[in-house]
C-alpha cells in the first residue's frame, strides 16, 4: 500500500497524460481538475483516433454521461488501444440504470475489464439485483448500501471498485478503505464526480501496478482539497473556483496530515 502523499509527489513529477472520453457536461471541469492537480488532460473523442491515442496516453478514462452510439464506438476502440498497450483504464457508468441503451452499453464496457470502476452509490448498487434509487445522474443511495456490491464486483471482475458519496469506499475485492472529508457542496457542482474519475486515471497512470492505492490517493486528494475549499466558498459557484485552487495548492505534506483514510 503506497501512501497518498507519496503518490501525489510521483503524479506531479510524471504529469501523466490522461485520455478522457467523458461527457459534454464534464469536459471542461475534468480538464481543469487534471491540470490543477498536476496531470495533463486530453479529450480525444473520434473513433478513428481513439484507439491510437489511448496507446500513447498513460491512462484512459471512459464516461457514459452523454452517450451516443458514435461515442460508444469510440469508447470501445479506445479500450482496445489501452488493452493492447497495457495501459490502465477507468470506467464511470453514469446513470447506467436509467435506459436500456445505457444498461447495455455499461454491461458491454464492464465486460471489457476496466482497471477501476468509479461511480456514485446508486450507480454501483444498480449493478446488483438490489433496488437502487438514483435520480438520473445523482445518487439517491448511501455509500454503505453499495459496499457489498462493490466488493463482489471487484472480486469477480478483478478490478478496483470505488464508490463516492459523503464517505467514499474503495475495494479491490480483498482490501477495502474508506475516505472521509470533502464538502456537502461537492455534489452541488455538476460533474465533480466525473472529473474525479479522470483524476483516478492520473493516479492509476502513475502507479499502474497498484490501482487500489492510486484510487485511494486520488480520493484523498479530492477530500482534502474539498475540505480546504469549503470555508472559502459562499455557495456552489465560488466553491468550484476555490476547489480548483485548493487542488493545485495542496502539498503532499498537507495531504499526509489531512487525509482521513481508514483501512478496513
Ligand atoms: N455529502 C458529501 N460530503 C462530502 N463529500 C461529498 C458528499 N457527496 C459527494 N462528495 C464527494 O464529491 C465527489 C463526487 O462524488 P459524487 O458521489 O457526488 O459523484 P457523482 O454523483 O458521480 O457526481 P457527478 O455525476 O455530478 O459527476 C467525491 O469526491 C465525493 O467524496
Ligand atoms: C448533468 C449530467 N447529465 C449527463 S452527464 C451529467 C454530468 C454529471 O454526471
Ligand atoms: Mg457520476
Q: What is the pLDDT of residue 194?
A: 98
For the CA atoms of 210, 212, 216, 221, what is the dihedral angle to 10 degrees?
Answer: 30
Phi, psi of 6 (to 5 degrees): -65, -45
Q: How far is the CA of 84 from the centre of ligand 3 (A)?
A: 27
Provide the pLDDT confidence category of residue 127 given band limits of 50, 70 and 90.
very high
Q: Which ligand is nearest to the CA of 163?
A: 1
* Contact criterion met (CB below 8 Å) for 10 and 38: no
194 CA → ligand 2 middle, Å: 8
- pTM (predicted TM-score): 0.98
Distance 96 CA to ligand 3 centre (A): 10
- Please give the average per-residue pLDDT across 4-15, as a whole number: 98
Q: Could you tell me the end-to-end alpha-carbon distance of the chain, in angstroms, rounded to an integer?
A: 13
- Which of 27, 33, 135, 191, when mutated, tests ligand 2's pocket best, judged by the most ligand atoms within 8 Å of its CB? 191
Separation of alpha carbons 136 and 231, rounded Å: 29
Q: Which ligand is nearest to the CA of 162?
A: 1
Q: Which ligand is nearest to the CA of 138?
A: 1
Q: Show the cell assigned to 55.
A: 496507446
Q: Is 95 in the pocket of ligand 1 (CB under 6 A)?
A: no
Which residues touch 73 (CB under 8 Å, ≥6 apart)?
47
ipTM of the complex: 0.98
Q: State if residue 23 touches ligand 2 by the CB under 6 angstroms criterion.
A: yes
Average pLDDT (106-117) is 98
39-97 pLDDT, tens digit per residue, is 999 999 999 999 999 999 999 999 999 999 999 999 999 999 999 999 999 999 999 99
Domain count for the chain: 1
Q: At 191, which CATH number? A: 3.40.1190.20
| Segment holding 204, helix H or strand E | helix 192-206
Residue 12 has phi, psi (to 5 degrees) of -70, -35
Distance 137 CA to ligand 2 centre (A): 6
Query: CA dihedral defined by 94, 260, 209, 115, rounded to 10 degrees?
Result: -10
How far is the C-alpha of 191 from the C-alpha of 255, rounded, in Å? 23
**Structural domain of 41:** 4-263
Q: What is the pLDDT of residues 204-246, one digit of tens each?
A: 999 999 999 999 999 999 999 999 999 999 999 999 999 999 9
161 pLDDT more than 90: yes
pLDDT of residue 32: 98
Amino acid at each position: 500500500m503506497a501512501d497518498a502523499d507519496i503518490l501525489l509527489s510521483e503524479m506531479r513529477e510524471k504529469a501523466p497524460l490522461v485520455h478522457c472520453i467523458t461527457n459534454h457536461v464534464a469536459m471542461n471541469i475534468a480538464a481543469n481538475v487534471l491540470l490543477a492537480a498536476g496531470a495533463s488532460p486530453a479529450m480525444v473523442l473520434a473513433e478513428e483516433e481513439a484507439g491510437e491515442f489511448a496507446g500513447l496516453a498513460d491512462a484512459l478514462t471512459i464516461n457514459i454521461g452523454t452517450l451516443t452510439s458514435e461515442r460508444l464506438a469510440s469508447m470501445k476502440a479506445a479500450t482496445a488501444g489501452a488493452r493492447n498497450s497495457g495501459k490502465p483504464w477507468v470506467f464511470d457508468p453514469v446513470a447506467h440504470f436509467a435506459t436500456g441503451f445505457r444498461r447495455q452499453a455499461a454491461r458491454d464496457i464492464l465486460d471489457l475489464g476496466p482497471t477501476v470502476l468509479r461511480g456514485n452509490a446508486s450507480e454501483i448498487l444498480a449493478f446488483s439485483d438490489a433496488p437502487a434509487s438514483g435520480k438520473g445522474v445523482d445518487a439517491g443511495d448511501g455509500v454503505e448500501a453499495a459496499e457489498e456490491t462493490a466488493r463482489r464486483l471487484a472480486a469477480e471482475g478483478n478490478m478496483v471498485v470505488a464508490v463516492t458519496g459523503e464517505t467514499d469506499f474503495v475495494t479491490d475485492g480483498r482490501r477495502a478503505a474508506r475516505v472521509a472529508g470533502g464538502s456537502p457542496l461537492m455534489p452541488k457542482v455538476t460533474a465533480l464526480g466525473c472529473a474525479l474519475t479522470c483524476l483516478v486515471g492520473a493516479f492509476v497512470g502513475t502507479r499502474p501496478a497498484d490501482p487500489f492505492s492510486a484510487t485511494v490517493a486520488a480520493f484523498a486528494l479530492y477530500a482534502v482539497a474539498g475540505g480546504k475549499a469549503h470555508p472559502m466558498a459562499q455557495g456552489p459557484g465560488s466553491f468550484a473556483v476555490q476547489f480548483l485552487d485548493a487542488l493545485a495548492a495542496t502539498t503532499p505534506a498537507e495531504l499526509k496530515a489531512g487525509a482521513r483514510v481508514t483501512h478496513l
